[in-house]
């Protein structure tokens, strides 16, 4: 992969180390030359973060590829960081296991990138996120020093839990070289039920209701029609603007029981069942659904992630839609109906995006609304001119001071992904 | 003990917490000389019982002015010396901070103060259909603050994860008295996961004063099975087989003959088969339709390994009885010898059978009696070494056996601690598991949280990796003007 560009910056040099030792050597040289380093995995998330202050060398992890050790009877796997998620999944599948992460683009997204960006998808509702399954790391720090933490143990309190620190750190503390995860058994059967609702409020309420009635879904997603268009799905036509999708995974009998129970629950509610998907259909559907918010688009686009609490989720969805109107963009809304994370994808199809300043104003207003509801808004994707005008993270809490100190301890010269993370880290 | 500046510092402490809430008399301090690990002792100079975050913050500020080390303490049930004031100074005890501040059913979360007893939370939210999953065996006594610090585990953590998987946000007081929020109520807060790394930092980063916890919905159905075996090896092989079959029970606990006898002879009597060489306690939860299938699979695996008897709890009372024996096992061992050391290591689960055999060999070779009750499904061993602390030879043999067990675990890729922490107890083993560089990385995080190094010093990191080892806090050796 050549010609890495990040927010309009082209790097001077691209390195493709073939081993952790080589990576460490390259980093030491860069460190001595004060060269800014940009770690790159599958390049599916380079749009995340503020524009770098400098970008001299791209450190590709594509040479760090493969499973190091897989122990199905311990349910753990160690894998090199440049391995694409799909490649790991196909190895695990051989033993009826999987890593329960479903971020966009599993074919390209590498595990190093997924951990660094703390990427997740719909099944986080049942299985949690990277922090719940990453149990060991090896990492190369900016001066080339290599360290490890954790191990192959599913339970471990020996020393500080460095895995947590590196998860979601956007490559600002080091370049991950090897990761150990605890994995899960594949479910015998899957099913997905798609239900149309007249409003997000009704969809969210139904999701709550399903949990109260003893259902244990893997995922609960409430999407608007626009969002669903990115997934070719076999559903009946319905005029309702929102669709709630529940996925169940268990032994066959338990899956069937849940589907029946759900159908019972929906009767006499404003919901209308559109379709019920079988195991294979579910697999295909969710694979496509996972990448929907990040599907390729030729024109101008923006992606915003708002996290809130249940009480304000419906209102936040409305505000995100309103922002789309102000932007003159088509708005796809993807809401994790169990964790209250909402993604809005704005596409400018038949209109020109506004000036950077106008766009910034819209996002600032949205962020103010989200923050006052106790949540936060991260702009995951937007053109560089807008990024220059707004901090994409919007994080200003007192804990930032501790984060800055940590960054200084690990990267005193500020060479790794400089400026891309919160507070200019 | 009565040193010059003490009266002044005492007056200031009283001004913050109220005179009824400070201990400084050596006799009274004696109770705070150690935690559950009694062979590390060190007397604090003060024990203070604050009631609010603000008071904690002012106490820490004061400690900083006097360059006085401070250590948070919950119930003192810790088993690695974590709550022991290694260099003297002040213990900040949280027993007055025991309110459950908020329960939010829609968000499946509760906000609590650090002194809340673990069990209280499940009790409080049960009617709403929830429970708090991490359930250390000490749950009727230990505090959430202590659980946070140790990243405590329990039988039900096999399926649900340990404390760290259940902490969403923390308000903490750091070494300079500043109060800040780590993590957040809404998902995926931006920035480094400081909440995640604070959990398990053994009170060395700061003091947690408000904790937002994740609640888990009570499962519609539960099945608890007791499987009895003639030999330990058959039980451990069953554990490995269950894991290899991709079944994740909620709990998978093992007790050996010494434990079974101790329990049955005590008031924790659970009706375990007395003559069994080992029993497994296996719990499944989920949907009834799924449990039937899983139960059959597990029965088959138990039988394939020569299980002598399988019992299933028929109702909540029977289930509680089966668990009472397990939860009381440690207490029941009190009858077996004057003292016991509860070891805590973890090995990959496929290595469990061989490592447990090694544990028996080691205890035999050092002539130390051992009893085993542990979280088998996690590979988390808890050999209980029985000894008499008045017998120096036996104590030495116990410590030697303990060291050998640790080595045996490390040799198969195991780890020093699965839930009790490093504290004072195992810090000198840290470089057996980690390189100098690995430990330096941890030291960097400690420094970022606690640049002055006054927060629970001498814990976790080995003596060398820390920033030099000072002696006991001495109020007389304070720099000029430190307390103006
Ligand atoms: C019989 C028995 C059974 C046990 N079973 C288990 C078990 O199954 N699983 C398990 O994991 N442990 C177990 N333990 C160990 C112990 O109960 C746990 O470590 C528990 O979390 C300690 O809680 P505590 O309130 O007693 O903390 P303490 O012992 O008082 O303190 C422990 C550590 O927490 C720190 N601390 C306390 N409060 C705070 C705070 N507010 N902020 C920051 N740091 C703080 C202290 O400084 C110290 O380092 C057992 C202990 C006993 C005696």
Interface predicted TM-score (ipTM): 0.97
Count of other CB atoms within 10 angstroms of residue A148? 19
Which pLDDT score, from 0 to 100, does residue B209 have?
98
**Residue A47 shares a structural domain with residue A148:** yes
- Asked whether residue A344 is domain-assigned, the answer is yes
- Asked whether residue A393 is domain-assigned, the answer is no
Asked whether B282 and B225 are in contact (CB, 8 A), the reply is yes
Inter-chain residue contact A409 with B447, CB threshold 8 Å: yes
**Residue A22 shares a structural domain with residue A145:** yes
Which pLDDT score, from 0 to 100, does residue B323 have?
93
Which pLDDT score, from 0 to 100, does residue B470 have?
67
What DSSP element (H or E) covers A354? none
For chain B, residues classed under CATH 3.30.465.10 are: 100-217
Q: State how far the Cα of A387 lies from the Cα of A356, in Å rounded to an integer.
A: 9
Interface residue A69 vs chain B (CB under 8 A): no
Question: For residue B6, which of B92, B94, B89, B71 has the smallest C-alpha distance?
Answer: B89
**Residue A271 shares a structural domain with residue A348:** no
**Residue A30 shares a structural domain with residue A178:** yes
Which pLDDT score, from 0 to 100, does residue A350 have?
79
For chain B, residues classed under CATH 3.30.70.2190 are: 220-333
Interface residue A147 vs chain B (CB under 8 A): yes
Q: What are the beta bridge partners of residue B358?
A: none
Which pLDDT score, from 0 to 100, does residue B100 have?
98
Close Cβ partners of A24 (under 8 Å, ≥ 6 residues apart)? A140, A144, A145, A146
**Residue A230 shares a structural domain with residue A308:** no
Q: Which residues of A touch B298 (CB under 8 A)?
A: none
**Residue A359 shares a structural domain with residue A230:** no
The arithmetic mean of pLDDT across residues A339-365, rounded, is 93
Which pLDDT score, from 0 to 100, does residue B467 have?
47
Inter-chain residue contact B106 with A376, CB threshold 8 Å: no
CATH number for the domain spanning A286: value is 3.30.70.2190
Interface residue A72 vs chain B (CB under 8 A): yes
Interface residue A74 vs chain B (CB under 8 A): yes
Whole-number Å distance, alpha carbon B150 to ligand 1 midpoint, is: 6
pLDDT, tens only, B435-465? 999 999 999 999 999 999 999 999 999 986 4
Interface residue A286 vs chain B (CB under 8 A): no
Whole-number Å distance, alpha carbon B199 to ligand 1 midpoint, is: 12
pLDDT per residue as tens, chain B (484 positions): 445 545 799 999 999 999 999 999 999 999 999 999 988 999 999 999 999 999 999 999 999 999 999 999 999 999 999 999 999 999 999 999 999 999 999 899 999 999 999 999 999 999 999 999 999 999 999 999 999 999 999 999 999 999 999 999 999 999 999 999 999 999 999 999 999 999 999 999 999 999 999 999 999 999 999 999 999 999 999 998 998 888 899 999 999 999 999 999 999 999 999 999 999 999 999 999 999 999 999 999 999 999 999 999 989 999 999 999 998 998 899 889 999 999 999 999 999 999 999 999 999 999 999 999 999 999 999 999 999 999 999 999 999 999 999 999 999 999 999 999 999 999 999 999 999 999 999 999 999 999 999 999 999 999 864 444 568 998 777 655 554 3
Close Cβ partners of B115 (under 8 Å, ≥ 6 residues apart)? B74, B94, B95, B96, B97, B98, B143, B144, B145
* Secondary structure of residue B342 in the 3-state scheme: strand
Reduced to 3 DSSP states, what percent helix, strand and coil does chain A have, rounded to the nearest 5?
35, 25, 40
Asked whether B298 and B249 are in contact (CB, 8 A), the reply is yes
CATH number for the domain spanning A104: value is 3.30.465.10
Confidence class for position A359, pLDDT limits 50, 70, 90: very high
- Asked whether residue A17 is domain-assigned, the answer is yes
The whole domain housing A84 covers 1-186+401-425
The arithmetic mean of pLDDT across residues A153-164, rounded, is 97
Which pLDDT score, from 0 to 100, does residue B244 have?
87
Q: State how far the Cα of A90 lies from the Cα of A66, in Å rounded to an integer.
A: 12
Q: Which residues of A touch B379 (CB under 8 A)?
A: 74, 153-155
Asked whether A111 and A81 are in contact (CB, 8 A), the reply is yes
* Secondary structure of residue A136 in the 3-state scheme: strand
Close Cβ partners of A191 (under 8 Å, ≥ 6 residues apart)? A247, A248, A255, A256, A258, A259, A276, A277, A278, A279, A282
With 0-12 CB in 10 A as exposed, 13-18 as middle and 19+ as buried, what is A87? middle
**Residue A66 shares a structural domain with residue A156:** yes
Question: Closest ligand 1 atom, CA of B36?
Answer: 53
Tokens read off for B393 = 């030879």
CATH fold for domain B337-449: Alpha-Beta Plaits (3.30.70)
Task: Read off the DSSP letter of residue B20.
Answer: G
Which pLDDT score, from 0 to 100, does residue A229 have?
86
Angle at B93 between CA B89 and CA B98, to 5 degrees: 165
- Asked whether residue A422 is domain-assigned, the answer is yes
Close Cβ partners of B481 (under 8 Å, ≥ 6 residues apart)? none
Q: Which CATH architecture has domain B100-217?
A: 2-Layer Sandwich (3.30)
Number of domains in chain A: 3
Q: Indicate which of A94, A155, A334 best probes the interface with B, i.e. most B CBs within 10 Å of its own CB.
A: A155
- Asked whether residue A328 is domain-assigned, the answer is yes
CATH fold for domain B6-95: 3.30.43
Which pLDDT score, from 0 to 100, does residue A238 have?
65
Q: State how far the Cα of A65 lies from the Cα of B211, in Å rounded to an integer.
A: 40
- Asked whether residue A311 is domain-assigned, the answer is yes
Say whether pTM exceeds 0.90.
yes
Q: How many contacts, defined by CB atoms under 8 Å, are there between A and B?
A: 246
Angle formed by the axes of helices B352-365 and B232-244, to 10°?
A: 150
For chain B, residues classed under CATH 3.30.43.10 are: 6-95
What DSSP element (H or E) covers B173? strand B167-173
Nearest CA in chain A to B151: A157
Q: State how far the Cα of A342 lies from the Cα of B188, in Å rounded to an integer.
A: 11
- Asked whether residue A396 is domain-assigned, the answer is no
- Asked whether residue A65 is domain-assigned, the answer is yes
Confidence class for position A1, pLDDT limits 50, 70, 90: very low
Angle formed by the axes of helices B288-304 and B232-244, to 10°?
A: 140
* Secondary structure of residue A250 in the 3-state scheme: strand
Which pLDDT score, from 0 to 100, does residue B484 have?
36
Nearest CA in chain B to A214: B220
CATH number for domain B220-333, candidates 3.40.50.10420, 1.10.3720.10, 3.30.300.30, 3.30.70.2190: 3.30.70.2190
Q: State how far the Cα of B111 lies from the Cα of A106, in Å rounded to an integer.
A: 36
CA-CA-CA-CA torsion sign (A396, B70, B443, A80): negative
Interface residue A424 vs chain B (CB under 8 A): no
**Residue A406 shares a structural domain with residue A356:** no
For chain B, residues classed under CATH 3.30.70.2740 are: 337-449
**Residue A204 shares a structural domain with residue A273:** yes
Ligand 1 site, CB within 6 A: B 35-36, 71-79, 82-83, 94, 114, 136-138, 142-143, 145-147, 149-150, 152-154, 202-203, 207-208, 330, 419-420, 456
The arithmetic mean of pLDDT across residues A350-358, rounded, is 87
Inter-chain residue contact B416 with A398, CB threshold 8 Å: no
DSSP-assigned states of every residue in A280-346: HHHHHHHHHHHHHTT---SSEEEEEEEE--HHHHHHHHHHHHHHHHHHT-EEEEEEETTTTEEEEEE
**Residue A244 shares a structural domain with residue A276:** yes
Q: Indicate which of B128, B152, B187, B244 best probes the interface with A, i.e. most A CBs within 10 Å of its own CB.
A: B187
Question: Where does a domain end: A292, A318, A344?
Answer: A292
Which pLDDT score, from 0 to 100, does residue B6 have?
57
**Residue A179 shares a structural domain with residue A236:** no
Percentage of chain A lying above the pLDDT 70 cut: 98
* Secondary structure of residue B413 in the 3-state scheme: coil
Residue A175 has pLDDT above 90, yes or no: yes
**Residue A148 shares a structural domain with residue A241:** no
Interface residue A213 vs chain B (CB under 8 A): no
A37-52 in b/e form (b: 16+ CB < 10 A) is bbbbbbbbbbbbbbbb
Q: State how far the Cα of B69 lies from the Cα of B66, in Å rounded to an integer.
A: 9
């Amino acid at each position: 992969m050549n010609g890495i560009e990040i927010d309009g910056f082209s790097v001077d040099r691209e390195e493709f180390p073939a081993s952790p030792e080589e990576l460490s050597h390259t980093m030491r040289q860069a460190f001595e030359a004060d060269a800014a380093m940009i770690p790159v995995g599958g390049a599916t998330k380079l749009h995340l973060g503020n524009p770098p202050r400098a970008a001299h060398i791209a450190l590709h992890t594509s040479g760090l590829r493969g499973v190091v050790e897989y122990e199905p009877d311990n349910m753990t796997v160690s894998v090199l960081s440049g391995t694409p998620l799909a490649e790991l999944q196909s190895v695990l599948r051989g033993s009826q296991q999987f890593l329960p992460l479903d971020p966009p683009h599993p074919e390209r997204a590498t595990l190093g990138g997924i951990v660094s960006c703390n990427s997740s998808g719909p099944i986080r509702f049942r299985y949690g996120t990277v922090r719940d399954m990453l149990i060991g790391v090896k990492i190369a720090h900016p001066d080339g020093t290599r360290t490890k933490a954790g191990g192959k143990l599913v339970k471990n309190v020996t020393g500080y839990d460095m895995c947590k620190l590196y998860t979601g750190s956007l490559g600002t503390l080091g370049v991950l070289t090897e990761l150990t995860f605890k994995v899960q058994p594949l479910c015998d059967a899957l099913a997905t039920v798609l239900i149309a609702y007249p409003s997000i409020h009704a969809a969210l309420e139904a999701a709550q209701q399903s949990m109260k009635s003893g259902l244990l879904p893997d995922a609960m997603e409430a999407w608007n029609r626009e969002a669903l268009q990115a997934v070719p799905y076999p559903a009946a036509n319905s005029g309702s603007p929102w669709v709630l999708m529940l996925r169940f995974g268990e032994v066959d009998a338990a899956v069937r029981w849940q589907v029946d129970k759900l159908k019972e629950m929906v009767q006499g509610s404003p919901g209308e069942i559109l379709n019920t998907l079988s195991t294979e259909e579910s697999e295909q559907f969710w694979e496509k659904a996972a990448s929907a918010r990040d599907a390729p688009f030729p024109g101008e686009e923006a992606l915003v992630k708002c996290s809130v609490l249940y009480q304000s989720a419906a209102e936040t969805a409305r505000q995100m839609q309103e922002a789309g109107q102000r932007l003159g963009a088509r708005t796809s809304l993807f809401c994790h109906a169990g964790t209250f994370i909402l993604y809005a994808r704005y596409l400018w199809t038949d209109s020109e995006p506004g000036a950077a300043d106008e766009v910034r104003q819209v996002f600032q207003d949205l962020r103010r609304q989200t923050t006052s509801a106790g949540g936060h808004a991260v702009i995951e994707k937007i053109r560089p001119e807008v990024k220059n005008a707004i901090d994409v993270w919007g994080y200003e809490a007192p804990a930032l001071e501790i984060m800055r100190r940590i960054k200084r301890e690990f990267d005193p010269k500020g060479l790794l992904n400089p400026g891309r993370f919160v507070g200019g880290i | 003990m009565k040193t010059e500046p003490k009266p002044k510092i005492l007056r200031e402490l009283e001004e913050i917490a109220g005179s009824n809430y400070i201990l400084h008399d050596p006799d009274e301090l004696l109770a705070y000389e150690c935690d559950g690990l009694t062979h590390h002792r060190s007397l604090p100079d003060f024990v203070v019982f604050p009631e609010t975050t603000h008071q904690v913050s002012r106490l820490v500020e004061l400690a900083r002015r006097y360059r006085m080390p401070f250590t948070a303490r919950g119930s003192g049930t810790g088993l690695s010396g974590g709550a022991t004031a290694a260099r003297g100074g002040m213990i900040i005890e949280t027993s007055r901070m025991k309110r459950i501040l908020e329960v939010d059913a829609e968000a499946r979360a509760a906000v609590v103060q650090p002194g809340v007893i673990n069990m209280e939370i499940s009790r409080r939210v049960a009617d709403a259909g929830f429970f708090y999953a991490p359930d250390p065996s000490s749950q009727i006594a230990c505090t959430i603050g202590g659980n946070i610090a140790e990243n405590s585990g329990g039988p039900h953590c096999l399926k649900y994860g340990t404390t760290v998987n259940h902490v969403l946000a923390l308000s903490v007081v750091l070494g300079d008295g500043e109060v800040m929020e780590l993590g957040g109520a809404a998902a995926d807060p931006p920035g480094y996961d400081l909440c995640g790394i604070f959990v398990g930092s053994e009170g060395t980063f700061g003091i947690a004063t408000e904790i937002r916890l994740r609640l888990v919905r009570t499962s519609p159905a539960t099945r608890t099975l007791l499987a009895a075996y003639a030999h330990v090896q058959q039980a451990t092989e069953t554990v490995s087989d269950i894991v290899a079959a991709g079944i994740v029970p909620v709990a998978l606990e093992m007790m050996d003959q010494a434990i079974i006898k101790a329990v049955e002879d005590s008031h924790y009597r659970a009706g375990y088969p007395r003559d069994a060489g080992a029993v497994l306690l296996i719990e499944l939860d989920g949907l009834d339709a799924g449990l039937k299938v899983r139960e059959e699979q597990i029965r088959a695996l138990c039988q394939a390994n020569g299980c002598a008897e399988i019992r299933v709890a028929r109702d909540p009372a029977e289930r509680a009885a089966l668990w009472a024996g397990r939860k009381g096992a440690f207490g029941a061992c009190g009858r077996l010898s004057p003292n016991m050391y509860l070891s805590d290591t973890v090995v990959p689960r496929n290595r469990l059978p061989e490592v447990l055999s090694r544990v028996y060999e080691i205890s035999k070779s050092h002539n130390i009696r051992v009893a085993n009750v542990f979280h088998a499904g996690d590979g988390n061993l808890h050999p209980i070494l029985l000894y008499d602390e008045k017998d120096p030879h036996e104590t030495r043999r116990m410590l030697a056996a303990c060291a050998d067990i640790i080595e045996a675990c490390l040799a198969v890729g195991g780890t020093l601690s699965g839930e009790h922490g490093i504290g004072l107890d195992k810090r000198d083993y840290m470089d057996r598991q980690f390189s100098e560089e690995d430990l330096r990385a941890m030291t960097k995080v400690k420094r970022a949280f606690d640049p002055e190094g006054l927060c629970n010093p001498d814990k976790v990191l080995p003596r060398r990796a820390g920033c030099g080892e000072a002696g006991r806090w001495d109020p007389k050796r304070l720099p000029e003007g430190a307390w103006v």
